[in-house]
Structure 1
Amino acid sequence: MTSPTRTPAHPCQGCGASVAFAPGTALLRCPYCGLEQRIAAPAVAIREHSYDAFLSAKPRVQALARNRFSCPGCGARTESDALSRACQFCGTPLVADLANDSQIAPEAVLPFALDRGGARQALRGWVKTRWFAPNRLKTVTEAETMKSTYLPHWTFDAQTASDYTGQRGEHYYVTTTHTDANGNKQTRRERRTRWYPASGQVRRGFDDVLVGATGQVPGERLKALQPWPLEQALPFDARYVAGHHSLRYDTEPQAGLEQAKQVMAEVIQGDCRRDIGGDVQRVHTVDTHYSQVTFKLVLLPVWIGSYLFGGKTYQVLINGANGEVQGDRPYSAVKIAMAVLAALAVVATIGCWIYLENRA
């Protein structure tokens, strides 16, 4: 009995196998026969979605429904929280059908610019600059595992109006007199500050405030990969994630907006200080009103890898757009001790020089 013919989601026009997006190009490439197919330029624009309209819509199911995949290569049926992945049995690239997904669909994707070779080169450059790492770390030229992964992020736009209260400090100088240890009177100028009450309002528009939408990667590590060239993002097309792993979001827009507001608050604090003026400022209260809030889900490219050193596994993340590397690394106790001794030697030398100068 012959098995039924299965058609891949993105079949190769040459051999019929599943094709994958080739980083740094606008092509789908067959891993078997090498035939390339160009991805047509997007016919739609990236849209921003009203946050108020999202809140007023029908309540969303909180539990994350798993995507069901039916492999066109071997026929295996599997479930996963990912949007795209490779079949665990035959390696065929799989992409979820988002038409009936209960989650918000990605609006944009920033395609991979770095291929596996570029990620390796970025890792080698990063390793060479780890000054306090053991010398043997420089022999690590490639991560043991290196997976191209699209990570979900929210972007938020908003118009803000912030009423603040605070104080403006203006410096002035006075001359004071004191008696030194030898009984001689000495004068010196001292800086002092007069404080005046201040209040006002500042306004600012925010565009594409970025926050991570997955808890599977530490938030601080994701922030360290910024900035991202979001202006190069394209309307979401499943062909750009074909052959690459893609995570679904597990941070809802409500929680994402609260994180975005924290980012905005730091900028607004600076606006308040500039509006207060003077030499120094104190900001006591800030009451911000948000309007015209919009958001979208965007997938950003990250090479996620790990390497084994000294019997311990270390994780690294590589920005798939510009090669920025963030990760864990070992430290050399010998190098750190030598650096401390060198610093102490410099301090001792300066101390001796000052002592000799005072005795001369």
Structure 2
Amino acid sequence: MSQSQYPCAGCGANVEFAPGTNVLKCPYCGHETALESSGARIREHDYLNFTSLPRKPIAQLAKHVFVCRNCGAQTESDAISDRCRFCSAPVVAELNARDLVVPEAVLPFVLDKRQLRESLGKWAKSRWFAPSGLKKVTEAETAKSMYMPHWTYDSNTVTDYQGQRGEHYWVTETYTENGETKTRQVQKTRWYHASGTVARSFDDVLVTGTTKVTQKHLDSLEPWPLPNSQPYRPEYLAGHETLRYDVEPEHGLEAAKQKMVPVIEGDCRQDIGGDEQRVEQMHTQYNDVTFKLMLLPVWIACYLYAGKTYNIQVNGVTGEVAGERPYSAFKIAMAILTVLVVIAVIIGLYSIGKH
């Protein structure tokens, strides 16, 4: 297997991509090498053409075997980029489009470890009923920087729908209360059949391409500044682990369609008009479907509390934090006790006032 390592022009060690810059930096002597523009462009791939190509399922592809040029050791991994298990030198696989879908775009890391600590510190301070030890989560030296594979899908959709339009009207209703006859206005709704056609174009509907991380946490890191993405080049991966996708493009498309459905239903409701709407049927055509694979930057941190490990993910561009957190039973108990004391005081003052 072909692979890339980038020796430092100053000392010969392996350089790494420095977050928030456009340079490869040596972690030892500090020498920097600027990444010149490659002239490449981010392309979208025609989905129908792709499905007609012969290929192996991703689960059948062998792991990469990296041979470190620094120490000569071998590292077996299904990641696209990793570190040598012996000397920690960064290694990046050279991808073959005949075996798997090659990334078209990468959103480079912006947050370095100092900024990561700041983001984790703000997150820890904002957690209600968190144990005091949660502040240790800012000790991010063991945090890992990882590029996560994501699919994006574009489509021009046309949807025929059937539904009902509700129009409100008011009637006067008579009722009796305490022996007295009264009237009130009551809202009613008349329903009318409605049907029509709506069209919408979707651009870059994002779907996670890996099952190896907690999906809900990864989704919580959105939105991503996708316009800042760069054409894929392996140099951006140097020094950072990159997961290989294990969600096939076909499965990703179905997930993308599920994201499109609520938006299309909203268009149908707007088209129906009236005061209320019921959408009973939708038949959507997905035309001109294109897709691409892109890599998004995530810091992965772990926090050990009371013998349990909590996982935390941080958006490597915006600093948004998502993840699990422990709760302090003592702080919760004290909060409940405080509330009970306040209630008791209020009741006591009320009783005194009545006498």
TM over 0.5: yes
Q: Give 2:184's aligned residue.
A: 188
**Separation in structure 1 between the aligned mates of residue 347 and residue 206 of structure 2, nearest angstrom:** 49
2:84: which partner in 1? 87
The farther-off stretch of 159-168 and 143-152 is: 143-152
Q: What TM-score do you get using the length of structure 2 for normalisation?
A: 0.92
Q: Summarize the Cα distance change of 1:186–1:286 in structure 2 as closer, same or farther, 3 Å threshold.
A: same
Instruction: Find the partner of 1:42 among 14, 38, 42.
Output: 38
For 2:324, the equivalent position in structure 1 comes to 328
TM-score (norm 1): 0.91
Deviations 1:259-297 (A, max 9, x none): 000000011011111111111111001100001000000
1:290 and 2:291 aligned:
no
Matches within 5 A, 1:170-319: 170-180=167-177, 182-319=178-315
Uncovered stretches (5+) of structure 1, i.e. residues with no partner: 1-6
Provide Cα deviations, 1:14-73, integer angstroms capped at 9, x if missing partner.
112110000000000011111000001231110000000011111434413211211010
In 1, the alpha carbon distance for the partners of 2:172 and 2:87 equals: 83
Cα separation, 1, equivalents of 2:202 and 2:348: 55
Q: Which moved more, 1:90-99 or 1:317-326?
A: 90-99
2:164 equivalent in structure 1: 167
Q: Deviations over 1:278-325 (max 9, x none)?
A: 111110011000010000000000000101122221110000010000
What displacement does 1:198 show?
0.5
Shift of 1:340: 5.2
Q: In structure 2, which of residues 150, 154, 173 is the aligned counterpart of residue 153 of structure 1?
A: 150
Q: Which moved more, 1:257-266 or 1:325-334?
A: 325-334
TM-aligned CA deviation for residue 139 of structure 1: 4.6
Task: Identify the range of structure 1 (260-269 vs 93-102) with the bigger mean alpha-carbon deviation.
Answer: 93-102
CA–CA distance in structure 2, aligned partners of residues 282 and 46 of structure 1: 41
> Where does the alignment leave 5 or more consecutive residues of structure 2 unmatched?
none
AA partner of residue 114 (structure 1): L
The letter of the residue matching 2:193 is: P
132-141 or 30-39: bigger deviation: 132-141
The answer to whether 1:108 aligns with 2:101 is no
What is the letter of the counterpart of residue 102 of structure 2? A
Inter-partner Cα distance in structure 1 for 2:63 and 2:275 = 57
Q: 1:76 aligns with which of 60, 70, 73?
A: 73
**Residues 74-107 of structure 1: CA distance to partner in whole angstroms, max 9, x if unpaired?**
1112221000011010111100111366111111
CA contact (8 A) 2:68 2:74 kept: yes
Secondary structure, aligned partner of 2:8? coil
2: distance between equivalents of 1:54 and 1:66? 23
Paired residue for 1:3?
none
Q: For 1:267 and 1:349, locate their aligned partners in 2 and report how far apart those are by CA, in whole Å.
A: 51
CA distance in 1, matches of 2:44, 2:337: 56
Change (3 A) 1:18 1:143: closer
Q: Which amino acid aligns with 1:102?
A: D
Are the structure 2 counterparts of residues 14 and 164 from structure 1 closer, same or farther at C-alpha, using a change threshold of 3 Å?
A: same
Question: Aligned with 2:258: secondary structure?
Answer: helix
Distance 1:313 1:125 in 2: 20
> Could you give the per-residue CA deviations for residues 84-136 of structure 1, whole angstroms, max 9, x where no partner exists?
01101011110011136611111100000001111111011100000121233
User: Over aligned residue pairs, what C-alpha RMSD do you find?
Assistant: 2.4
Compute the displacement of 1:157 (Å): 0.4
Which shows bigger deviation, 10-19 or 108-117? Answer: 10-19
The equivalent residue for 1:53 is 49
Q: How far apart, in 2, do the equivalents of 1:253 and 1:193 lie? A: 45
SS in 1 for 2:33: strand
Q: Is 2:96 the partner of 1:127?
A: no
The residue type equivalent to 1:255 in the other structure is H
Check the 8 A contact 1:144/1:308 in 2, yes or no.
Answer: no
Structure 1 residues 343 and 159, CA gap change in structure 2 (3 angstroms): farther
Q: Is 1:118 paired with 2:81? A: no
Q: 1:136 to 1:229 in 2, by over 3 A?
A: same
